[in-house]
Structure 1
Amino acid sequence: MSYDVVVCGAGVGGLASARALGALGLSVLVLDRQAAPAEVAKGELLQPESVRILHDWGALPALLDGGAVPVSRLAIRDPNGRMLLGLDYDALPGAYRQILCTGYSNVLRALAGTLDPNVEVRRGVLVEEALRDPAGRVTGVRVLDEGRPVEIAARLVVAADGLSSRLRKSVELAGERHDYDHKLLAFDLPGVEVAPEVSAYRGEEGLRLVYPLPGGRCRLYVQIRADEMRGLGADALTGWCDRVLAGLPALAPLAGALRANLRHRQILAVYRLRAPRLATAGLALVGEAAHAVHPMAAQGMNSSLGDAETLADLIRAAGGTEADAVDRALTEYHGTRLRRLDHTATVSHNAARMLTSTTGVARLLGGRMMRHTAANPRLLRLTTGNLAGVDLHRLTPVDRLYQLGLLSDRRAYAGTVRPTANGGTTP
């Protein structure tokens, strides 16, 4: 049994890789150990760069038919709902200037609908390890199919099998995982209308994140301590809910739905992951097999889509699927994507610390950075472009000093208008 490409994992990263590589005319086999996709609270915010990719692949109409909700603002607010920092995507360059809020399963369906006939998806198959030739190059995978060991040869193997990737471990590409000191509690709340924005509330107990979902629903994430929900009975859970609502008056419109759905919740571990290499001879890492970030900045699924697009572009440019051509493309993939992913990880980590720190210097500095960024149109543009993925610019050490209010930025109003003391504006 032989294919041009074997993709291990049928999540967004895996299906995106199959779609992009299948469009090159390659025979692609997608394998996943789950009989059906699990319903999970993740991968629900598509940044503008991802919307562009999905539009190019023909998946956008299906997403919109599935009820994806477009929003144009990511707002950081205080417990009473007052704006602390607003990132307006309408001001971005280019044609894609909105976030799409949708369910993870909707993204999977949209991607599955764009797969070419030369792409085969098989579920209920466990990928055990990579096959390697005497020189160490990956040449396929060994799987368990209905309990039978089977070897499948491939010119390229794509490991999109998640955080605990068996393939990453089998080729000794270790992942460096760092857990945050908190978890997130996720609620899917029906029958609630929320503002058409992604709203991040910065309370005394940390982050509360709210955004609309298809079908008149909304997502609520509540930051909790690692052991906060352990052993809570019904009465204690009600008391916990009351404390959350009392500490964040802006959540009052969600109170009824939250109380009615307290038992329908998911607890999510929050961590960072980075593999030191994204590829080895014959194999590429995609998505959470290679990288993971704090979900607050909505970059995880978006980075997976970018991985898949870049990998396929480089395979096409290599001019064939012979071993030498594939391995040249994989070397370029590692270098190109690692720079982008490191930038994304920095943006995500800084945003997470700003919003999730509850005590000490970190919380104080986070507040200062939000205030001075909100007052500086240039920094606002940079921050919005970095999060959206369409206009990337690293913030310099001097920019950090501007954010902390330690220097005055003479370029703050470059390219915009500046308010004057009498209420007018000046170029």
Structure 2
Amino acid sequence: MTPDVIVAGAGAGGLATARALGALGLRVLVLDRQRTPASIAKGEILQPETVRILDTWGALDALRATGARPVGRLAIRDPQGSPLLALDYAALPGPYRQILCADYADLRTVLADGLAATVEVRWGQRVTGVLRADDRRVTGVRVTGVGGDQEIRAPLVVAADGMSSALRKAVGVAVDRREYPHGLVAFDLPGADVADEVSAYRTNRGLCLVYPLPGGRCRLYVQVTPDEFRGRSPAELTGWCDRLLVDVPAIGALETALRASLHRRQLLAVYRLRAARLSVPGLALVGEAAHAVHPMAAQGVNSSLADAETLAATLAASGGTLDAAGVDRALLDFHAARRPRLDHVATVSHNASRMITSVSGLPKLLGARMMRRTAANPRLLGLTAGNLSGTNVRPLSLVDRLYQLGLLVDRHARPPATPAPQRSERR
């Protein structure tokens, strides 16, 4: 196949791009360095805007058939389980008013199963660099893998090859990448069916996040320090679990499944990343090659699918021509359409994560204040739900921020609840 588009990376973002561009009748070649898809705890909370995109692509029913769990509520709770702030997605405008909690592997399979006949996926093919014309426009990629080294040319190249993107580096796009001072440990807990809610517990150790998964399972994320699991013996892991259950009594029902799964944990570093540009002539960046946010706000895979939808829309709007000038005009439109939205997502995600993950000092106090005053203000709650869900995106104004901080009083808000004291001892 002589491709119109080369997509580097067969994660959800790359497969979504291939699906969206294949639907335009384009010949798409997807290359991935893995020989088989990797299993990782990510991309499981699909916001309503992503549900809309999947429905538009005709993929929603197939994903639901995998057992994806519909969730209508996202709540921040104290360690005992009492609500501090709750977002009711049922109050959102429009027909898409639920989160879907799905396996990332199922999402990729559903996207792959719906690829057009003009799309080909090749595994075990590592993209190592780009081909360029005399004017520096990207015209293809260099690949190494089964069959040796080769050069493949196409009018458009899409970098969907993750945070360490080789293609982004090859074209010299600068990136602002910052690691959070904490990590997350993820557990997949079988036989631990939980309520249809995404529950974020704000604790003295930071974030503890729980949500349902298909098959009567749940995901548990726990905030950890970078060296918290380094060199731990089985007895020390048991002690860690004991302390967690004391710190967060609300997850007590997960104890048996958690203890049985301690050896199957995944440790994840947490980053926020912003590429200076989303495109250069001949090449577009999508997904984590261009942006990454804290998992707390559940925006990562959702932004990746929106990238794919927007890229296809801008190519279609340009008339679908694949001459260099037409493609590059579409890429400029893609950048212009996505950059403001991605900047907004980054701000919302960072602010939401700081409210939950800060464990000491002024950030923790400000997070508690902002949470209480948001919870007491129905208008701010609606804005927050609209922003996180992607269905009604409206950035908070300066006045809204002042309301959250309590520096201005909104006469339409309820008096904020007095917080219950939290135990500070660690056992």
Q: Secondary structure of 2:183's partner?
A: strand
Q: Give the CA deviation at 1:321.
A: 1.2
Match of 1:350 in 2: 351
Q: Give per-residue Cα distances to partners, 1:127-179, cap 9 Å, x unaligned.
A: 11111001000001110132511111101000000011100000001221100
Match of 2:422 in 1: none
What amino acid does structure 2 have at the position aligned with 1:349? H
What amino acid does structure 2 have at the position aligned with 1:352? S
Instruction: Give, in whole Å, the separation in 1 of the partners of 2:236 and 2:149.
Output: 49
Match of 1:200 in 2: 200
Matches within 5 A, 1:300-315: 300-315=300-315
Q: Secondary structure of 2:284's partner?
A: strand
Q: Give the CA deviation at 1:62.
A: 1.1
Normalised by the length of structure 1, the TM-score is 0.96
Alignment check: 8 A CA contact 1:272 1:291 kept:
yes
Instruction: Give, in whole Å, the separation in 2 of the partners of 1:31 and 1:271.
Output: 25
Instruction: Give, in whole Å, the separation in 2 of the partners of 1:230 and 1:120.
Output: 41
Q: Gapped runs of 5+ residues in structure 1?
A: 419-427
Instruction: Give, in whole Å, the separation in 2 of the partners of 1:47 and 1:410.
Output: 31
Q: Give per-residue Cα distances to partners, 1:64-109, cap 9 Å, x unaligned.
A: 1101000000000000000000000000000000000011001001
Q: Give per-residue Cα distances to partners, 1:389-423, cap 9 Å, x unaligned.
A: 0101111111111011121114549xxxx9xxxxx
Match of 2:36 in 1: 36
Match of 1:27 in 2: 27
Instruction: Give, in whole Å, the separation in 1 of the partners of 2:351 and 2:315.
Output: 33
Q: Secondary structure of 1:394's partner?
A: coil
Alignment check: 8 A CA contact 1:141 1:152 kept:
yes
Q: Secondary structure of 1:350's partner?
A: helix
Instruction: Give, in whole Å, the separation in 1 of the partners of 2:87 and 2:49.
Output: 16
Alignment check: 8 A CA contact 2:2 2:27 kept:
no
Match of 1:425 in 2: none
Instruction: Give, in whole Å, the separation in 2 of the partners of 1:170 and 1:298.
Output: 29
Instruction: Percent identity, please.
Output: 65
Match of 2:420 in 1: none
2:333 equivalent to 1:332: yes
Q: Gapped runs of 5+ residues in structure 2?
A: 416-427
Which moved further from structure 2: 208-217 or 109-118? 109-118
Instruction: Give, in whole Å, the separation in 2 of the partners of 1:146 and 1:50.
Output: 35
Match of 2:121 in 1: 121
Q: Give the CA deviation at 1:30.
A: 0.5
Match of 2:244 in 1: 244
Match of 1:421 in 2: none
Q: Give per-residue Cα distances to partners, 1:248-306, cap 9 Å, x unaligned.
A: 11010001110111001000000100000000000000000000000000000000000
Paired positions, count: 414
Match of 2:271 in 1: 271
Match of 1:381 in 2: 382
Alignment check: 8 A CA contact 2:274 2:292 kept:
yes
Instruction: Give, in whole Å, the separation in 1 of the partners of 2:205 and 2:41.
Output: 21
Instruction: Give, in whole Å, the separation in 2 of the partners of 1:230 and 1:170.
Output: 34
Instruction: Give, in whole Å, the separation in 2 of the partners of 1:270 and 1:223.
Output: 10
Match of 2:232 in 1: 232
Q: Secondary structure of 1:230's partner?
A: coil
Match of 1:85 in 2: 85
2:298 equivalent to 1:321: no
Alignment check: 8 A CA contact 1:45 1:99 kept:
yes
Instruction: Give, in whole Å, the separation in 1 of the partners of 2:384 and 2:39.
Output: 31
Q: Secondary structure of 1:368's partner?
A: helix
Alignment check: 8 A CA contact 1:379 1:412 kept:
no
What amino acid does structure 2 have at the position aligned with 1:173? V
Matches within 5 A, 1:116-265: 116-146=116-146, 148-265=148-265
Alignment check: 8 A CA contact 1:59 1:113 kept:
no
Alignment check: 8 A CA contact 1:19 1:115 kept:
yes
What amino acid does structure 1 have at the position aligned with 2:57? W
Q: Secondary structure of 1:3's partner?
A: coil
What amino acid does structure 2 have at the position aligned with 1:359? S
Alignment check: 8 A CA contact 1:72 1:97 kept:
yes
Q: Give per-residue Cα distances to partners, 1:36-55, cap 9 Å, x unaligned.
A: 11111000000000000000
